[in-house]
Amino acid sequence: MKRVLSVFLAVLMILTLVPFVQAAPSFSDVPRSHWAYKEITEMAAKGIIKGYEDGKFRPNNQVTRAEFAKIMIAAAGVDIRKNKVSQTFVDVPKSHWAFLYVEHAKPYLTGYKSGTRYYYKPDQYAVREDIAVALVRLLGYDRTHKADQDVLKRFRDHERISPNLRPYIAIAIQTNLMKGYNNEFRPLDPITRAEAASLLYRALLDRNDDETKVVFPNPDKPELPRSVSDNFSDTELKNWDTDHAVGTWGVVNKQVTAISTEKNLHHYFLPLIWDEDKNTKRYELTVDVNVSGSDGLGGVYFNGKNGAAHVVFVNKDRVTLARVEDAKDADIDVIASGSYKLKTSNRLKVVVDGDSVSIYMNDQFLFRQQKVKPEGTKLGLYLQRNATKDAPRSITYLDNFSFTAQP
């Protein structure tokens, strides 16, 4: 059963000190009858736009050019890179709050040139012709569509459109990105927060111009891996069978951890996706157990079947090999252990060879246990409830996992 993601995200917000944002925000000044209710609500739910602390959105407030750069970058999902970004505009220095947004939006937005110097005018209001250019360039329509400037003649105020921007305005009209009002385009009218939300929503989140119905071929059964490495830079946990995980697992600061709202759940398991059907007698599991004020209580599990498994975990003064029969039972059957002084980061390696289990810490052999009966083929990451129950004051993370199976 798929874990309740919203619960984990709530804890994740606490751990990373990010204010919690409701999945479906509502604003007191944007009733359901508002013409842009859907666009505003869905854009806010995605974190692209935000309201004010008093619970209002202020849909009729006008948007500055700096604000629009930020909104557009967020809506387009453009990756904001803080390194090696040089200043282009005289009036948007690196100390300006919108510097990164403006620089990353530069390929799509209009600017101003005076002599050899460029200006962005971040505090001026964004106007309709600026937005038309941004949407056309962001979607690449200036490369895929030929501008027919005759379409501009349908507007009584077409001569007010800046000459250099007319091809982009024409494409925006041709592709229904933007429309006029009462036979006017109003190119220099500032846009409101509601209009910005609506335009970006329709352009970037609700486009289905190229949608066609297709029939997919029957897929071949994918070949499952016999070696896996994961440094958890991807928050989606693609290497892991999260549908059958015990506990709620997620990535925080490029490390993985787990929690649960079930008070009687004492052991958390995250199963690895691998080729279990092959007759594998020897394999290795390696993981970093990183502690922040906790006693460790994390590591790996193997020989898993029907909810039971062998586990190896790091504690404050020992490394323990044990058997967990039930995730809801706090008791474990200790098989063997070795003395070890817990560090901030602890490299654990477990080598399983038939019924022999060898434990290494920080690349140093610790102990070996024979006659550990292989019970099943499930394996992956393991945490005890106490590893994260006092988060964020104390918590255990797992990182830099690797698995290799031999024939």
| pLDDT tens, per residue, the chain with 407 residues | 344 444 454 444 444 443 433 445 678 899 999 998 998 888 888 878 888 888 899 999 999 999 988 888 887 777 776 657 888 999 999 999 999 999 888 888 888 888 888 999 999 999 999 989 988 888 888 888 999 999 999 999 999 999 999 999 999 999 988 888 889 999 999 999 988 888 888 777 665 445 556 665 555 666 778 899 999 988 889 999 999 999 999 998 889 999 988 889 999 999 999 988 777 889 999 999 999 999 999 999 999 999 999 999 999 999 999 999 999 999 999 999 999 999 999 999 999 999 999 999 999 999 999 999 998 999 999 999 999 998 888 999 999 999 999 86
Token readout for 94 is 């690196």
Rounded distance, CA 179 to CA 115, Å? Answer: 34
Q: What is the Cα 162 distance to its own chain's centre? A: 39
pTM over 0.75: no
Token readout for 358 is 């060898």
pLDDT of residue 107: 83
Rounded distance, CA 88 to CA 216, Å? Answer: 47
pLDDT of residue 329: 93
pLDDT of residue 381: 97
Give the CA distances from residue 49 to residues 69, 71, 202, 249, 256, in Å, rounded to whole numbers and listed in that order. 12, 6, 15, 28, 29
Strand 345-353 and strand 333-339: the pairing is unpaired
Rounded distance, CA 7 to CA 259, Å? Answer: 9
Rounded distance, CA 362 to CA 403, Å? Answer: 16
Phi, psi (degrees; rounded to nearest 5) at 303: 55, 35
Tokens 């001569």 sit at which residue? 159
The amino acid sitting at 142 is D
The vertex-91 CA angle with 70 and 165, nearest 5°, equals 65
Which domains, and CATH codes, for the chain? Answer: 19-205 (no CATH), 228-406 (2.60.120.560)
SS (H, E, C) the chain: CCCCHHHHHHHHHHHCCCCCCCCCCCCCCCCCCCCCHHHHHHHHHCCCCCCCCCCCCCCCCECEHHHHHHHHHHHHCCCCCCCCCCCCCCCCCCCCCCHHHHHHHCCCCCCEEECCEEECCCCCECEHHHHHHHHHHHHCHHHHCCCCHHHHHHCCCHHHCCHHHHHHHHHHHHCCCCCCECCECCCCCECEHHHHHHHHHHHHHCCCCCCCCCCCCCCCCCCCCCEEEECCCCCCCCCECHHHCECEEEEECCEEEEECCCCCCCEEEEEECCCCCCCCCEEEEEEEEEEECCCCCEEEEEEEECCEEEEEEECCCEEEEEEECCCCCCCCEEEEEEECCCCCEEEEEEEEECCEEEEEECCEEEEEECCCCCCCCEEEEEEEHHHCCCCCCCEEEEEEEEEEEEC
pLDDT of residue 218: 58
pLDDT of residue 2: 45
Strand 308-314 and strand 318-324: the pairing is antiparallel
Q: Which of 120, 131, 121, 114 is nearest to 188 (CA)?
A: 131
Residues 338/312, Cβ–Cβ less than 8 Å: no
Token readout for 131 is 């937005």
pLDDT of residue 213: 61
Residues 232/207, Cβ–Cβ less than 8 Å: no
The vertex-68 CA angle with 67 and 71, nearest 5°, equals 90
Give the CA distances from residue 267 to residues 45, 241, 312, 327, 389, in Å, rounded to whole numbers and listed in that order. 33, 16, 12, 5, 12
Token readout for 291 is 């502690």
Q: What is the Cα 269 distance to its own chain's centre? A: 22
Tokens 């910005």 sit at which residue? 196
